[in-house]
Structure 1
Amino acid sequence: MTLSCPGRTPAGPTRCAGPLAWRRWPTLEPCPALTRHGRERARPVGPAVDALTPGPLRWPPWGEPRRGPVAFGSSPEPGCIMHTMRIDATCGSVFRAWRIRPLLLWATLLTLAWSLLGCAPGLSAPAVLNQAETIAREDARRPLPQHDSSAPIVTVEVRAATPIYPGDPVTIVVRAISQEPVDAYRLAIDDADTGWRAVKRLPGGLLSFEWTAGEPGSYVLIGQARTTAGAVGEGRRLLTVEPPDSSSSQSGQPGSRPDPTAQDTVIFYASSVTLPTYPFAEYQSQAVDPAYRWPYRRFDRDRFWQQAPQPSPQTYQLLILENRYLQVLILPELGGRIWQVLHKPSGNRMFYQNNVVKPSPWGPPQQLGWLALGGLEWNLPVIEHGYDWGTPWDYRALQESDTVASVTVATPRDGRLLHASITVTLRAGSASLEVAPTITNLSPDELQFDYWQTAMLAPGTGNRPSPDLHFVLPGQLMTVHSTANPDLTGPTLLFTWPHYKGRDLSRLGNWREYLGFFEYPAAHGPFTAVYDPWYDAGAVRIYPPEIMRGSKVFGLGWENALGSDLFTDDDSAYVELHGGLAPSFFEQARLAGGASISWQEQWYPVVDLGDLTTANANLALHLARTADAFQVGLYPTRPLNGVINLLADGVPVARRAVVASPEAPFQGVLPVDGAILPQVQQWQLQVEDQQGQRWISYEMSDPS
């Protein structure tokens, strides 16, 4: 039935903002279709308005109550069918007891009836996950049901300095990947809503909104896209605004955010970040791995899911290295991880950045609860993310000069047999980050152990990869670690790279389910990379393969991907690049008693290349052949003024000057005589600076 009601609209007049629609949908749904709390998830609805005005939202779960759909239901026992009733409301004043009481009576009667049929009653009791449903490790991960393919995939992109403080300008962009044309976009910020905006009236066909950051706290951004056929897709993003006094100056005292814009300057400073945090520590107990005398905390996943606690704000220390091009964020209290690298000229982020601290079903099987916080983490002494991904690490910051600054994070020296220290260095005028680990065996005897680095990546501004993201690996043969893909069944299965059984497996959108694999027989090096043409952004890792002999890739899948709710509270997602001392998880590294092993890597974000073909410590290169030319893209890690040479079977055929920098990458064309293209056996592209120093030399037989 439809009722009219008195009420106050956001603009102020005393009249109903719209009819109140009370719709009852008695449905029979299988229990697995419910959320883990045993209730249907509320979805935001609201009036379409032309300006940013208050609208109804009921997300995130720790926020203030919002007007919107309300779900009633009982938590089912396994095998039960549950009756659900939902109310949609667009006028806030109707939520009064005398209006809802009849529905509560009906809900109570229905709950009682179903309990007599064998289903457990209780409007708020969480659904219980038994041990058989526990996902203990990566090789037991299970895909979720496939999403509606007709709905567009929506990304909510945030472009702003980090951390964000009240009054900071924030650009929010909503866009979508869709098989059907998108005719309208919509954005909600916490409890405010733009309404539907027609694509034909939006510059560039995207919804771009300039927002001034509000009061400190967590905000939820919800973007929607509607196709011409009426299908609506939705993407969600968490954003945290820090208190104004949480920024610190270089000396560590409260002050304004430093702004190192000089070409020859780099600084270190400390700050903090406040994140919604689930009380996972309350569900952990002390344990020790006797093989390494390594203390860790075991997570009681069953009790956590049964009790379904809610997150609350918690503040963490943030260590920041910054120069003209990059801002590097380190979380010493959460595994000493590099949490994010921001490419300042573009606003792109290199790593995935989870904005909620939430235990996942994964991690070492004897521990579980791994925090998929994003960034680059250090995993030892066992596989599956190690033990210390969420514990405080010791740290020491060193500002050597105005041109070099570093932070060293280290495991405690508390009797454990292995010690790890990782020095992260940023230099003035460079858009790459140096990472220098040292692993030491503190025991007198040889140790077999695992050391891996896990990078969780979502390059760009959307905090989730697109289907066009692809992995760039030099090898031609891979071996499976774990997957739900029936074409790649079984650990250690070998498959060709990048094409296997007619599919280009380097492209994420061609994956059906989750997949993890290693380069075979070992890492080829000296680089691995990912690039996402949707955001025109990527990430590069440069490393010594003779030391870091393991190279692993993991992704959540695409068509039937693992759900984001397993590790976060929005729609963000990621892919992983791993590097290890052993070639795979099936082998271990060895270190003699009292010995150490050290090496150095470089990591850097890439933007505005169009795509990525190869990379080294100096630059990332994209090279593609057309009918009578080569399309060239160069992203240097420091300013470059030089020349590009193209050789055909050793003979120069094209040359052009190039000026590029991390702020302004180069994209251009090298014309060639189309008649010679079919005759050439080997092409070579060289980039040199004005002093004749070669920055890169790349050979290819068929770059098309």
Structure 2
Amino acid sequence: MRYLLPGRAAWAVSLTRTIVALVTLFSVATQLAALSVQPSTATFSLDTTTLTIPQVDYESAIYYRDGDPYPHLDFERVDRRRTVRKDHTAVVMENRYVKLTLLPEMGRVYSFVYKPTGHETLWQNDLVTVGGAANDTGWWLWIGGVEYTLPGDEHGTTWAMPWSWEIIENSSRRKAVRMRVREPGTGLEESIEIAIVSGRAFFEARICITNPTDGMVEYAHWVNPQWTPGGQNELTDRTEFIIPTDRILIDERWQENLGPSPQAWQGNPLRFIRGWSRMGDVMADGLTGGFYSAYSHDADEGIVRVFDPDKTPGVDVWTYGYHPTQIPMGSGGPNAGYVEMWGGTSRTYPDERWPLAPDASLQWTEWMYPYQRTQGLTFANEDAAINFQVTPEARRVVIGLCPSGEWRGAVELWRESVHDAADGRAPLRRWEVTADPATPFIKVVILEGLMASEFNDLRLRVGSDQDGWTIVEAEN
């Protein structure tokens, strides 16, 4: 999230420069598409290549201070009128459902294409540019994708550090790359293992933060995905932000824009991008589940992060607001913006930090995957995204299930307790389901025999006796 934007006036570029940026963005998209030409259903690959991404001419304006390990930027020396083409080492991992592009020397996921729809899920700047940020470097790079940040503050500093990397697995079962960085101010070390497996739409991230120093270190780690579900490289008008929480918190500096703190989350206008009149961010005040998502109801498509809420309990959502006018597209062209849905080891952003003892480490695994045609989301784990919504006055129930891979099982609709299905009772409805990321399951059911008050007792049971059952409560 950003609120310090030096040089905004300089972004009022000429039409010629805008056209150049659009052409270069098309060139990047063409490069990404050319990395795999109409793959078959058996595609499962890992390739290293060079990806050329246009950027403003800023690198000559980077400088260092004596005794300061961080790169700083002299904004007056940044030539925003000059575009240069930057070559990046890229690793492309692909299976039948997704194509994932890493910029490993930056520790960044750059592209995540959902092949059933052909849509890019991550925002990408048409011309990479720079702006101010409240961290120890004093700036940030508007490039897009997913970043992994230490040690706290706005975007941290590890985005600006060189990362080492290696391919650690390239088997018929799994493709994996390990990226590593040392945060110079704290001495903390981060290792991220990014992997895809055959036949799954997720990428898996195994993250480890280690303190190799002889002192206690206060820190926060935040994952920052910049999402634009729907394939438009901007938020669609009916994008929903889905967080399993009862209420949200709003920092004092954003309350003029977004309202008082705390606020109840159910029915809150801020659940949809249309409810954000201006920029700002909101924080979940505790979680009731280990997932969050952005869903484009216009495209009927979303993306979800699944994680252990005990290891990463923080969720912070930032947007520029609905139909903003100053999105930092390097070309100066119009854009409706993206959503940053941060996930952190601290509950609140950006000042809260937790201690890590000498020689101690924190490790966790998380998953991120696109899903479609569920009409929203109520629950997710690494296996499936499930929507279960009831409208009592219309006697309507919506049930959607989009798995991250091939899925077979039962979907059952129950009243009241479903924990004792062995007592001979039968569900109200039952479906035997075979689904995959390209063919999700969706049902809209009208229950004329129930009173409106009885819809609050509905439960969904999903799974099988062999693989186990998941109970999902309805969202009204």
TM-score grouping bracket, smaller chain normalisation: 0.7 to 0.9
| 2:460 aligns with one of 664, 672, 685 | 685
Q: Give 1:286's aligned amino acid.
A: Y
Q: Give 1:345's aligned amino acid.
A: P
State the shift of 1:688 in Å.
1.9
Give yes or no for the alignment of 1:640 onto 2:429.
Answer: no
Match of 2:101 in 1: 329
Contact 1:533–1:610, Cα closer than 8 Å, also in 2: yes
What is the RMSD computed on CA atoms of the aligned residues? Answer: 2.9
Deviation per CA, 1:374-405: give whole Å up to 9, x if none.
22101112321111214431111123520111
Match of 1:276 in 2: 54
Q: Residues 187-226 of structure 1: matches in 2 within 5 Å?
A: 218=24
Give yes or no for the alignment of 1:346 onto 2:120.
Answer: no
Deviation per CA, 1:177-215: give whole Å up to 9, x if none.
xxxxxxxxxxxxx7xxxxxxxxxxxxxxxxxxxxxxxxx
Give yes or no for the alignment of 1:564 onto 2:327.
Answer: yes
State the shift of 1:598 in Å.
0.5
Q: Give 2:74's aligned amino acid.
A: D
Alpha-carbon distance between aligned partners in 2 of 1:683 and 1:624, rounded to the nearest angstrom: 10
Match of 1:36 in 2: 9
Match of 1:468 in 2: 238
State the shift of 1:426 in Å.
0.8
Match of 1:261 in 2: 41
Match of 2:31 in 1: 242
Give yes or no for the alignment of 1:361 onto 2:126.
Answer: no
Q: Secondary structure at the match of 1:351?
A: coil
Match of 1:374 in 2: 144
Deviation per CA, 1:215-269: give whole Å up to 9, x if none.
xx7266xxxxxxxxxxxxxxxxx8543399x95xxxxxxxx7694632xx63211
State the shift of 1:669 in Å.
3.0
Structure 1 stretches of 5 or more lacking a match? 1-33, 44-57, 64-189, 191-216, 221-237, 248-255
Give yes or no for the alignment of 1:60 onto 2:18.
Answer: yes
Alpha-carbon distance between aligned partners in 1 of 2:330 and 2:282, rounded to the nearest angstrom: 21
Alpha-carbon distance between aligned partners in 2 of 1:243 and 1:404, rounded to the nearest angstrom: 21
Distance 1:512 1:315, change over 3 A: same
Q: Give 1:355's aligned amino acid.
A: D
Q: Residues 451-530 of structure 1: matches in 2 within 5 Å?
A: 451-481=221-251, 484=254, 486=256, 488=258, 493-499=261-267, 504-520=269-285, 522-530=286-294
State the shift of 1:36 in Å.
2.5
| 2:210 aligns with one of 418, 421, 440 | 440
State the shift of 1:632 in Å.
1.5
Q: Give 1:638's aligned amino acid.
A: G
Q: Residues 265-304 of structure 1: matches in 2 within 5 Å?
A: 266-287=44-65, 295-304=69-78
Deviation per CA, 1:32-89: give whole Å up to 9, x if none.
xx983597x656xxxxxxxxxxxxxx342657xxxxxxxxxxxxxxxxxxxxxxxxxx
Contact 1:326–1:341, Cα closer than 8 Å, also in 2: yes
Alpha-carbon distance between aligned partners in 1 of 2:352 and 2:265, rounded to the nearest angstrom: 22
Q: Secondary structure at the match of 2:124?
A: coil
Distance 1:336 1:654, change over 3 A: same
Q: Give 2:165's aligned amino acid.
A: Y
Distance 1:599 1:38, change over 3 A: closer
Match of 1:669 in 2: 444
Higher relative contact order (CA 8 A, sep 6+): 2
Q: Secondary structure at the match of 1:470?
A: strand
Alpha-carbon distance between aligned partners in 2 of 1:683 and 1:518, rounded to the nearest angstrom: 29
Q: Secondary structure at the match of 1:218?
A: helix
Distance 1:62 1:615, change over 3 A: same
Q: Give 1:354's aligned amino acid.
A: N
Structure 2 stretches of 5 or more lacking a match? 1-6, 418-424
Alpha-carbon distance between aligned partners in 1 of 2:133 and 2:167, rounded to the nearest angstrom: 32
Q: Give 2:118's aligned amino acid.
A: G
Contact 1:339–1:375, Cα closer than 8 Å, also in 2: yes
Match of 2:473 in 1: 699
Percent identity at matched positions? 24
Contact 1:653–1:672, Cα closer than 8 Å, also in 2: no
State the shift of 1:697 in Å.
1.7
Q: Secondary structure at the match of 1:389?
A: helix
Deviation per CA, 1:440-494: give whole Å up to 9, x if none.
111011111221111110012101002311111111121113655526468xx32
Distance 1:38 1:280, change over 3 A: closer
Give yes or no for the alignment of 1:534 onto 2:298.
Answer: yes
Q: Residues 121-140 of structure 1: matches in 2 within 5 Å?
A: none
Query: What is the number of residues matched between the two proteins?
Result: 458
Q: Give 2:249's aligned amino acid.
A: T
Distance 1:289 1:562, change over 3 A: farther
TM superposition score normalised by structure 2:
0.87
Q: Secondary structure at the match of 2:305?
A: strand
State the shift of 1:656 in Å.
1.9
Q: Give 1:441's aligned amino acid.
A: N
